[in-house]
Chains A and B, each alone.
Chain A
């Protein structure tokens, strides 16, 4: 029986009071003290829990919202005093891309490691910008996998990083092709560098520990080498250093023991690649390429230069950089993927897509659009209860108290839980599609539906004049 990929999760409750979506406001001056709300209406006992919690605090430094939003207390209050509102603190989380809903679900997954499940139907927008304008397909009756819910453990989410030769050559029985190094990760995810803003003491160590626990790889800025230089060798296979051409922070013997490095794109890329190859001929080298209007052409160019891995990085909201009309990362990946196929280079280069990947469905959709894997950083930060308030500079007040000592086990545990939940959600989506292999999902746009295409194909003939 093949070994199954499994991420061990443990319950990791939040350090801070939760920021719930709802809150109950009451006007106690007219309260009849009937306790309908406390004893009868609230089936969750949230009133009692709230009271217990507040009493336990040294000072009431935050509002506590655990309400489930069922309106039972509102409608059963004898005096009609109660009012249910959306918590203003919840509404202020994140920004227009990193919505409060992303925080809510990420925190839940980081705490429990479980797939978020709810009752009632979908309650969101019909479609939206970015990844919200596509749907994944499913296979109704005939399923290639022929697995049911009990067979999903055997769905492989592994992907490869590196070059796969398009053919092999042999002389007699001897293979004469030279094979590049290829490494596999069990989930199409790589942990990306965090922003220079996020200079938090435990961030990199937590990310590396989470990478080790999940079997993934974390890209670490070589400037932060000092933070981890005492790490033993078991961590090195889970670290990919981002090397700046002018930086010589990483000792050669360390580079010899790592499997993957990343260098920024430059005019002298081949020279840099050769320099690294001279140190470690087996290392896989990724080129970090900011996603700009020139990226499509540049990706083709890099592939032509036998670059093995291209790491495309959009802004935090998944948008193209340096553009007046920025395109979204999913559309650019489709372009690059399509061009690489046309140039017969697709299997020779690995595409990592980063920027705007905030949910597991983004991961699945980015892969369907043509990425081999995605890079993430903000979800890891959010797992630590970050609110993306951008108050990270030294001296700023961090409402998530990330600048205080967080135990690395705890930080890594939350991140590991998140990845555990993402893994199972990817499996759910792939299971519905009847896909056994994440490798096969790459670029399989036949397994997706796009809003614009559905509008044109189905509504076009009906509603166009």
Chain B
């Protein structure tokens, strides 16, 4: 694991005794890119090709010229199958020699934009971003140039969607692909704690068992293991099935303390204090009773079927000094651990961040308002706290002014949809990001927002219903995420290459490489 590996280290020096006794062998997951198609019968396509069976003379022209495999004639069949529209690049094909619509001698083919696009996605996660994420999770590759997805920005009209990366006409230096390093340090303090380095500038956000299924959780941590990064348990307890992946787990201490035990704190290299969540700042957590199934209640040591609240705030923390006591408590329980402090984005988020740094945190994790949630009041999602895109430069510049920036890792989360958002976040001043919704979208989420009650997610992701959970398997989920991470890392490296940078850290705080369409220096 980069500079830090528990396998190589002298375990007696870094792990508490009782952890050594109970530690299980750690599992390795191959970082192997394999095609991983969607798990549904019909893929949703941006464009639909209609074939008029009466006009079609079965000449096969379309079949021969289409390089994407849209037109399929199955062996033994006399007629073409329904066109595989999701493979079609749409009207971009018009300018090529492969445009089946124009080439069909009988005018039997018709291309239209799929009317379902209006129903899929929203302003932030547009249908294009969802489909593009699915495509990357399927192939493990960045989108081909001829793809017609608008993936770089959504349609929210602000924040990331008004920021553009300002590439130079020519890179300042020629950089070979294998020279580019996108890994980041999670411990910038010289405090004797492990120097943990993750291979990609992101890790997985906290999703508790209860809010999502154990299949989702395990897929996340297995992909994190393959990519030498982390996934977070969330607040709902630490599943025994996480234990083979302890080295890639972050466990969360939140106000409800559900499933938090000294033993679970001792298992992991990073502990995250969740003071607030961007989707519902100041409101605490709330697992609706219907999702508190028997297995969830056991994990949380609670009564089945009753709603479970994580009250806001920590009733033991009303000052930075109290926060420091919290951190000391965790460091005492697990001497090798790094501390992450997750806060949302109030007006004084910069002060909170600096205070947290002086209290001894290694990672300041600011969570903006557009992130995912199992359940949150709609009024909170839209209205409370500052958008992340403002909070990052505010915190970064204040940490710089306080001479603390080089000693703390700044992580941003809450609405990171793509590697473009990652690059923009880092240019605004973050070291890296935490992702959550993007992982769920890779697993098939359509953002219908029905994760919160009843049987939970109809897509089998954010549910603890046994019947629904069984519709997704861990191998498929793991592969989808490994593929997505590969595509993102390729995309990020390409961005760095265009800037002539060898390390992702060179991009940190480079707001001069961004333009904002609302200001004057657009290109």
Contacts and interface: CB of A to CB of B under 8 A. Distances in A.
A279 interface: no
B398 to A, nearest CB: 11
Given A43-B455, A86-B119, A429-B384, A126 B157 contact: yes
B29 interface: no
Interface string B370-382: 1111111111111
Nearest to B374: A119
A404 to B, nearest CB: 31
Contacts of A120: 372-373, 437, 445, 447-449, 451
Given A428-B377, A463-B521, A121 B343 contact: no
B153 to A, nearest CB: 11
Contacts of B369: 122, 135
B386 A428 contact: no
Given A74-B42, A125-B158, A118 B378 contact: yes
Contacts of B372: 119-121
B147 interface: no
Contact of B468 (A43, A76, A84): A43
A361 B379 contact: yes
Contact of A121 (B120, B124, B450, B516): B124
Interface in A44-98: 44, 68-72, 74-78, 80, 83-86
Given A115-B379, A118-B449, A458 B515 contact: no
Contacts of A149: 283-284, 286, 309, 311-312
A135 B386 contact: yes
A116 B377 contact: yes
A70 B516 contact: no
Contacts of A137: 346-347, 384-385
A458 B428 CA distance: 11
B115 A141 contact: no
B223 to A, nearest CB: 20
A77 B42 contact: yes
Nearest to B309: A149
B458 A465 contact: no
B449 A141 contact: no
B393 A462 contact: yes
B44 interface: yes
Nearest to B114: A83
Nearest to B379: A425
B82 interface: yes
B456 to A, nearest CB: 8
A227 interface: no
Given A135-B385, A150-B311, A121 B437 contact: yes
B119 A143 contact: no
Nearest to B319: A142
A225 interface: no
Contacts of B349: 140
Interface in A135-163: 135-143, 146, 148-150
B123 interface: yes
B244 interface: no
Interface stretch (B61-69, B182-190, B258-266, B273-281): B273-281
A115 B381 CA distance: 13
For B40, B346, B375, the residue with the greatest tally of chain A CB atoms inside 10 Å of its CB is B346
B383 interface: yes
B41 A428 contact: no
A47 to B, nearest CB: 13
Contacts of B317: 141
B450 A68 contact: yes
B511 A105 contact: no
A149 B309 CA distance: 8
Contact of B381 (A121, A364, A460): A121
Contacts of A464: 519-521
B122 A123 contact: yes
Contacts of B38: 75
Interface string B389-405: 01001100000000000
B257 to A, nearest CB: 13
A125 B159 CA distance: 10
Contact of A126 (B158, B343, B519, B520): B158
B410 interface: no
Contacts of B275: 140-141
B377 A148 contact: no
B448 A69 contact: yes
Contacts of B125: 123
Nearest to B38: A75
Nearest to B155: A125
A124 B390 contact: no
Nearest to B255: A148
Given A74-B42, A142-B318, A148-B311, A136 B384 contact: yes
B124 A432 contact: no
Contact of A71 (B44, B314, B393): B44
Contacts of A148: 255, 284, 311-313, 315
A72 B378 contact: no
A136 B319 contact: no
Contacts of A139: 282, 346
B387 interface: yes
Contact of B379 (A69, A78, A360, A454): A360
For A83, A121, A451, A455, the residue with the greatest tally of chain B CB atoms inside 10 Å of its CB is A121
A67 to B, nearest CB: 9
A431 interface: yes
Contacts of B73: none
Contacts of B288: 117
Contact of A76 (B41, B82, B320, B370): B41
A132 B66 CA distance: 47
A449 interface: yes
B384 A135 contact: yes
A85 B116 contact: yes
A120 B373 CA distance: 5
B415 interface: yes
B394 A458 contact: yes
Nearest to A84: B119
B164 to A, nearest CB: 11
A191 interface: no
Contacts of A128: 157
Contacts of B178: none
Contacts of B347: 137, 446, 449
Contacts of B162: 126
Given A22-B119, A449-B347, 10 more contacts: A74-B116, A78-B41, A118-B452, A120-B447, A121-B371, A123-B122, A126-B162, A140-B352, A429-B384, A432-B283
24 contacts: A44-B454, A68-B448, A72-B458, A75-B42, A117-B378, A117-B453, A118-B449, A119-B372, A121-B381, A122-B415, A123-B447, A128-B157, A135-B369, A135-B386, A138-B344, A141-B275, A141-B352, A143-B318, A148-B284, A149-B286, A428-B380, A433-B282, A463-B516, A463-B520
Interface of B: 38, 40-44, 82, 115-116, 118-120, 122-125, 156-159, 161-162, 255, 275-276, 279, 281-284, 286, 288, 309, 311-315, 317-320, 322-323, 343-344, 346-349, 352, 355, 369-387, 390, 393-394, 414-415, 437, 445-455, 457-459, 462, 468, 511, 514-516, 518-521
Leading 6 A-B pairs by shortest Cβ distance: A126-B158, A432-B282, A119-B451, A148-B311, A123-B122, A75-B40
